[in-house]
Structure 1
Amino acid sequence: MPAVNKFFNKLIEKSVNHPNLKLISAIVILSYGFRMNWGEWRPQESILKNVEETLQLALVPNSEAQKTVQDRLNVMQNLTDFPNYLLFILGNSSFSESVRSLGGILLKNNILTVYSSLSQEDNLKFRNECLRLLKDPSREVRISISNVIVIIAKDHLKTWHELIPYLMKCFVSQDEHSEVALTTLFKVCEELINKQKPQEEAYPITHEVFPKLVEFVALDTCTIRQDIIRLTNQFLQDYFPIMKQSIDTASYLRSIMQLANTSDVDLQKYICHTFVIYVENQEECLLPHLHDIICYLMEKCQHDDQEVALQACEFWLATTKLSTCKDILSPYVDKLLPILLKNMKYSAAELNMIKDSLGADANNKDLSKDISPFHLKDRGNVGDAEEYYSDEDLDEQAEDFDDFYVGWTLRKCSAASLDSIAVKFGEELLTLLIPLISEMLRNSDYIIKESAILALGAVAEGCMNGLKNELPNLIRFLICCMNDEHSIVRVITCWTLSRYVSWIVNFHSENPEEFFVPVMTVLLKHFIDENKRVQRAAISAFCIFQEDSQMKLVPYIDFILEGFKYGFERFHCRSLYLLYDAIGVLAQAVGNHLSKEEYVSKLLPPLMKKFTELNNFYDDHFIAVLECLSNVIPSLEVAFLPFSETVYLHCLQLINDSLIACINYQQYPNEYDPPDKEPMNVAHDVLYSMALGLKTHFVKYVTNSNLIYLLYTTMQDGSNLIRQTSIALYGELIGLCYPFLASNVNDYIPLIIKNLDENVDGVCNNAAWVIGKLCSVMGSNIQQFLPEILNAFVHILRAPTMARTMHKTVAISLCIIFFVCPEVTVPEMDNIVKNCCMLVRNVRDSDEKDLAFRGLCSIILRHPEFNKTYFIFFFVTRLLHG
């Protein structure tokens, strides 16, 4: 054995300067290590000395020394018992404290590579040594072993039964060792939260640790309340139902309230958070203390520390989600509203963060933080799909442009709280609000004026009806504010105008010159504002304006495109991304009215110029242009033909390149980066849009390329979005060129059936839609695949959620099967047909719905027993079908 050790020691020394020896030494060390018996392990002096010298050298602040250390460690880390040496050094007081501590750091980084291979006996010895070192005289050693324990507990807490009781015992002892024991306990608990373990795995923590912590936090001798409450809050937030079984939540709340007068700012923040958690999860516990808690939180909302005020403000937002909100807040709303309005001002910190973007910066290039694109929609969901754009998406986007990189602040939380309170209280809030907001608007401080305009936008949804008589003057006032000298006022005015768009669009629609045209004009005008934040806010508000206006925009398409034209000429990256979204919303709103030659000649050249000058498929700007095209092409229809070949070839190349990148990464993961699949997803989207817009003109591209074969691969991709868009495109091709697909359609159907997974809505919806399309063209030839299809459909329809588009699509396709294959039967036929009736009647009229209704008629005629119980459902469907 000494001879082996000597040989090994020399290998370590020589391999540092001889690269070819590194591999040899690694192999020898590895094989030597595997022959070791961990139960009989003893450190070899020569190796131990070498490890110690390496650790000593690591403490030398010299680049050459550090390189030598790294080379040595690269060799040592191949030794399977290297962690043993580190643990030996860490636990031996004969070494210097700095060497021991550094050994602990290396042990933390290496332990998981060998820990799982330990025998049960060695595992126990290792753990016992870890626990022993938690009481080492050296605080640095205790901290190092604490980190090792946390790493092990990440994946092995369930089997380390003695760990939690031991940490609790050390913690309760309140001696010099208890601090690190408590820190270890906290880290173990936080790891459990961060990994989102199932509730049963949290059980030992919640049932063993928290009763003690809750008991301890009420003691006068407790010196770590802040940490305990912070940790308890984290667990309450994630595991309140099972925490209720472990601790007396009412008693804990009383303990928290007794601490409320603390001067500790962090503790105040955690106490406020506790109240928020309770109102979200167990409001009845708060009722006996409600007055005191609300008064406390209103006071903390005015705290000088913004984090304390923000945490207190979260309470109002959480309360508005309760059915009892009005009962809880009514006695206090007159005091609460002034506080919320005051907190809607920009703070000094927020103004400092946006100070560089307040002036005339339209000609400055975007900073790196400004150029991440916005993706407005989730495309590729077909069948009886919902609208691509939702008001919520657009509202969120609008708010993003009000300091999108500042984050969640007291200002935003206060505005959101006012919004939600206004929805709950409605117009009865206006008696209190109007005098307060009017006074703010008259204030000479533009910061206060800006917050008043924000408040006007915040109450729009809840108080619109009560403001009806005031809205004409309010809209005129807001139009005037769009010319304010301060950019932050113009920014928030854009957003507030967008909140009243539904009224603007529908007010005296026979006289659009009164409000419709002036608002449209002022927003378009500020597309070319001298301030980029105003530009973005105006575009975002205009997207919402277009979404609400729909066909009312048709007479003004030329005027709108002029505004877009100036945007193409002047915008930088971030504003350009929004312009692409605005173009997409216009296309969705006006449909094929956009296909007139004079409109196409204004819109397509600048858009295609951007498309062709961007040669990097993975550039965010290129993806944004692609997304814009995917929105526009269906509206342009055959007017897009002159540009179609260029776009088609780019998309095909993009998909080809992405699939090659995927293959390279799968085969050589160490040599290639994981591929970015978003461009491939958007390329599918564009091709799907071309199929929709060009219809039969698209067939020549399909038949003269390898698109169908590419789809065979992408329909099996690991990404849900890729499969969703790929299946949608295949489904559209069925209607356009089924004869071309027919020769190998049987290879594709199993892939489609495999995607009938109700847990992935979009993919399942599209797969079900494609099956309906296939049935309509294949007829009874689809018979061989029906057992699998029917099993999947019945499983989904047994408990339909009426709001889900996917269930409607499945019902339509099943009824088409009934039509083309009238002899099929399914389990629980009566109940399934009843569900189909309920789902189909809410679907828009289409060829698919017509076939589905015929299928319903066919199946009901052949199952007269259905009439006894469920005929009323078919009868209502018949009436609605017309």
Structure 2
Amino acid sequence: MGLLRRILDTNKRVQEAACSAFATLEEEAAEELVPRLEVILQHLMCAYGKYQRRNLRILYDALGTLADAVGAELNQAKYLDIFMPPLIAKWQQLPNSDKDLFPLLECFTSIAQALGPGFSQFAEPVFVRCISLIQTQQLAKVDPAAAGALYDKEFIVCALDLLSGLTEGLGGGIESLVAQSNLRDLLLQCCVDEAPDVRQSALALLGDISRVSPIHLQPRLQEFLTAAAKQLTPQSVKDAVSVANNACWAIGELAIKIGKEISPVVISVVSCLVPILTTPESLNKSLIENSAITLGRLSWVCPDIVAPHMEHFMQAWCNALCMIRDDFEKEDAFHGLCAMVAANPTGAVSSLANVCQACASWNEIKSEGLHNEVSQILNGYKQMLGAAGWEQCMSTLEPAVVQRLARYGV
């Protein structure tokens, strides 16, 4: 309460310090704030009515951080009635060329992710505005006079990020909005934009849309895949690792949804992923993990295309799989590993110790089907090598690894 009262202080510097301090408290306290949400929101919105431009930015940040901290707990009518009407009013009042939109867009992104389907009642005007922001800026790039604005890529980045937040929050509920818009063509332009941060946000949105409504990407699917694959060349990875990371993830998400239709780009993508996996540790850890998952997803949907080349990357790939925590993405990758070994069992013999280590890296495979697949593969190798060959392979592994493999009945 002491902090909340100071947020309403008449002195601007006190407002600023109190609001920043409160945002830090929110990050740490997280769900412990839930019982106090009403009084927090009332104070923040009271401040919203009196703050000047500079401190409003800090207030948006505090509100966005609150949404990140309490998540779906925010999705209650009594809370929404406190903070959404003033935010929507401000959103409608600011013109498309006003830079004060940036912090508001970022704040809405956190709110949309926190509210999930609860944001759907506000979604349409927000979605339409994002599309118009991107259109205005793409026009401003070539003809500022016609656009009535000077080009500023930050508008595009913030609008793309908010569309990602909407897609994440609404899930399949965003489909009707995407269907009625020209988002597909605008997104493709952004995926090939010369500015790395525009491409980074565009590829993140491409991955999000692939998850919930890939059907709307269909007419230009190959162009999207080519644009994403282009970000994975060694030079592109060097120039902009976070762009490459998002491109890699988006390709994997698309592969899972469209299956064999991804086959035209599989070889070019795999040939870019292999150097990432086989490069020494200097590379970004997140990119290595994403590359391992995407390689697994491609192997799962097109094992016949990838399996003939597995000797070139099997060891490095298995080492990367060991680093990934147990979740559905790791499951996808292991479905790919199993599909490839089934398609080309001899291709992995020289890397069998690495395969065993990867299989042992699971705390627990939740999917019974996958557990059985892994078990089948290991037992297949045990038969193929014979007792002596299998023992020799086991003797190269740490005792703890051998112990964990016992779960698969070998």
- Give the TM-score range, shorter chain: 0.7 to 0.9
| CA shift for structure 1 position 532 | 1.3
Aligned to 2:303: 822
Q: CA deviation at 1:575?
A: 1.4
Q: Secondary structure at the match of 1:865?
A: helix
User: Which whole-Å CA distance do the structure 2 matches of 1:774 and 1:817 have between them?
Assistant: 10
Query: Which of 103, 115, 130 pairs up with 1:636?
Result: 115
| Separation in 1, partners of 2:287, 2:317 | 12
Structure 1 residues 834 and 877: alpha-carbon distance in aligned structure 2, compared to 1, 3 A threshold: farther
What is aligned with 1:851?
332
Pair 1:713 & 2:189 matched: yes
Give matches, 1:174-185, under 5 Å. none
Aligned to 1:434: none
Q: 1:808 to 1:868 in 2, by over 3 A?
A: closer
2-structure distance, mates of 1:547, 1:763 = 27
> 1:837–1:877: 8 Å Cα contact kept in structure 2?
no
Q: In structure 2, what residue type is equivalent to 1:856?
A: L
Given the superposition, is the C-alpha separation of residues 836 and 545 from structure 1 closer, same or farther in structure 2, using an over 3 Å criterion? farther
In the aligned structure 2, how far is the partner of 1:707 from the partner of 1:724? 16
Please tell me whether residue 675 in structure 1 is matched to residue 151 in structure 2. yes
- List per-residue Cα deviations over 1:429-483 (Å, max 9, x = no partner): xxxxxxxxxxxxxxxxxxxxxxxxxxxxxxxxxxxxxxxxxxxxxxxxxxxxxxx
**In 2, Cα distance between the equivalents of 1:751 and 1:838?**
28
Match of residue 388 from structure 2? none
Cα separation, 2, equivalents of 1:552 and 1:871: 43
- In the alignment, structure 1 residue 832 sits paired with structure 2 residue 308: no
Mapped to 2, the partners of 1:589 and 1:595 lie a distance apart of 13
Query: Does the residue aligned with 1:758 lie in a helix, a strand or coil?
Result: helix
1:685 and 2:161 correspond: yes
Structure 2 CA distance, aligned partners of 1:614 and 1:674?
A: 16
Superposed counterparts of 1:379-528, under 5 Å: 521-528=1-8
Counterpart of 2:141 in structure 1 is 662
1:200-259 per-residue CA deviation (whole Å, 9 max, x = no partner) reads xxxxxxxxxxxxxxxxxxxxxxxxxxxxxxxxxxxxxxxxxxxxxxxxxxxxxxxxxxxx
Residue by residue over 1:44-96, the C-alpha shift from the partner in whole angstroms, topping out at 9 and shown as x without a partner, is xxxxxxxxxxxxxxxxxxxxxxxxxxxxxxxxxxxxxxxxxxxxxxxxxxxxx
Q: Is the 8 A contact 2:137 2:149 kept in 1?
A: no
Whether the 8 Å contact between 1:819 and 1:855 is mirrored in structure 2 is: yes
> What letter matches 2:331 in structure 1?
D
Question: How far off is 1:872 after superposition?
Answer: 4.3
- How far 1:582 moved relative to its partner? 0.8
Aligned to 1:362: none
Over residues 676-711 of structure 1, what are the superposed CA-to-partner deviations in whole Å (9 max), with x where a residue is unaligned?
Answer: 111111011111111111122211111111110111
Aligned residues: 357
What is the CA-CA distance between 1:819 and the residue it aligns to? 1.4
Q: CA deviation at 1:831?
A: 6.9
Equivalent pair of 1:633/1:689 in contact (CA under 8 Å): yes
| 1:227-246 paired onto structure 2 within 5 Å | none
Taking structure 1 as the reference length, the TM-score comes to 0.39
Contact persistence 2:160–2:205 (CA under 8 A): yes
**Contact 1:841–1:880 (CA<8 Å) still a contact in 2?**
no
Q: Which residue of 1 aligns with 2:210?
A: 734
CA contact (8 A) 2:241 2:284 kept: no
Amino acid of the residue matched to residue 225 of structure 2?
A: I
TM-score, normalising length: structure 2: 0.81
- Shift of the 844–590 alpha-carbon distance from structure 1 to 2, 3 Å rule, reads farther
Q: Indicate the RMSD between aligned Cα atoms, in angstroms.
A: 2.4
Q: CA deviation at 1:864?
A: 4.2
Deviation at 1:642, TM superposition (A): 2.2
Query: Residues 803 and 713 from structure 1, CA distance in 2 versus in 1: closer, same or farther, beyond 3 angstroms?
Result: closer
Shift of 1:740: 2.7
Q: Tell whether 2:9 aligns with 1:529.
A: yes
- Runs (4+) off by over 6 Å: none
Residues 1:786 and 2:270 aligned together: no
Q: Which amino acid aligns with 1:689?
A: G
| % identical equivalent positions | 30
The alpha carbon displacement at 1:881 in A equals 4.6
Residue ranges of structure 1 left out of the alignment (5+ in a row): 1-520
CA distance in 1, matches of 2:74, 2:315: 42
Quick one: which amino acid aligns to residue 834 of structure 1?
Q
Secondary structure at 2:134 match in 1: helix
Taking the aligned partners of 2:189 and 2:307, their CA distance within structure 1 comes to 32
CA separation in 1, counterparts of 2:277 and 2:38?
Answer: 47
Say whether residues 1:539 and 2:4 are aligned partners. Answer: no
Check 1:560–1:834 CA distance in 2 against 1; reply closer, same or farther (3 A cut). farther
1:1-16 alignment, distance < 5 Å = none
Separation of aligned partners in 2, 1:834 and 1:525: 59
> Could you tell me which amino acid in structure 2 is paired with residue 636 of structure 1?
L
Specify which structure has the bigger relative contact order, considering alpha-carbon pairs within 8 angstroms and separated by 6 or more residues: 2
Higher CA-based Rg: 1
Distance 1:866 1:545, change over 3 A: farther
1:574 aligned onto 2:54 = yes
Please state whether the residue corresponding to 1:797 is helix, strand or coil. Answer: helix
